[in-house]
Amino acid sequence: MTPLLPPFDLPEDIVLLIVDELAAPADFILHKALAEHLKSPARRGDSPETKLSPNKVVILSASESFQRWKALASKSNLQLQNYINNGSVSFIPVGSDICDDDSGRKLRDVFSVISEKITTANTYSRLLIFDDISSLEWMGIPNIQLQQFLRAVRAMCLKHRVTLLIRHHLLSPDESEPDELFRFLLQICTHHLAVHPLASGRSGAVTGEISLHKGFSAPDHDNVRLIHRSSAIQYNLVDSGPDFFAKGTSGGVL
């Protein structure tokens, strides 16, 4: 099976929390996952007689417009509009109009749309990208409603074997204790990928670094190779996308 997000040793059907900072945004991770998923061979499923269908991606965006997604996808040679037209990609925008006294009902409506797009897709390889949970929190949606929404989305993804990516922004990464929402996200994820700026500041050859940790919901026999901060994979953003390399070896691209 093709890895979810090379060079990281991540399988499909997981709940991946992607945490970034203002100085190291993780847009490139989301777009790499999108490109890898759409370009990878369709998964046949349990029966060898099952007819192959194109991979499916649902993007739930609370922060970026479709035009922004389309522009960034083009850097990976993805014509996102074509995938929208053929049904391989569904884009669901979530705006500030969701934040009122009836936000709980509106979140349930959003969940219904996600569920319909995911469960009716005639494919075994499905990806849901949630970009991002932090924006909904900043809009003023109560934490308890966000947690209920995330629980429902996670349960649906686990039931239908959908890979779930959730991005969360850290405004104060140096705080010793994570906030309530971050703690909840760590509880429900199987894996936690953190994008960091360089402690010494950005250089011409290195943009930042990435560590990979196990989440509290990881399976008991999880064989994913973890990457601690001390041995983080470094990356450099170029016009064609990210280059990855081992720490201190910017010449050796992974």
Q: What are the pLDDT digits (tens) for 126-142?
A: 999 999 999 999 988 99
The percent of residues in the chain predicted with pLDDT above 90, rounded, is 62
Q: What is the mean pLDDT of residues 8-34?
A: 94
Does residue 90 carry a pLDDT above 90?
A: yes
Q: What is the mean pLDDT of residues 23-32?
A: 94
pLDDT on residue 178 = 80
Q: Give CA 115 to chain center in angstroms.
A: 17
What residue ranges define each of the domains in the chain, with the CATH number in brackets?
15-40+54-245 (3.40.50.300)
| Residue with the larger pLDDT of the pair 236 and 76 | 236
Q: What is the mean pLDDT of residues 32-49?
A: 74
Does residue 217 carry a pLDDT above 60?
A: yes
Looking at every residue in the chain, the average pLDDT score rounds to 88
Question: CB of 188 within 8 A of CB of 154?
Answer: yes
Does residue 237 carry a pLDDT above 80?
A: yes
Q: Cα–Cα distance between 228 and 74 in angstroms, integer?
A: 32
250: amino acid identity, one letter: S
CA atoms within 13 A on the CB side of 191: 24
Q: How confident is the model at residue 47 (pLDDT cuts 50, 70, 90)?
A: very low
Of the candidates 224, 233, 239, the residue with the CA atom closest to the CA atom of residue 253 = 233
The dihedral over CA atoms of 112, 117, 120, 124, expressed in degrees to the nearest 10, equals -120
pLDDT on residue 44 = 53
| Residue with the larger pLDDT of the pair 13 and 98 | 13
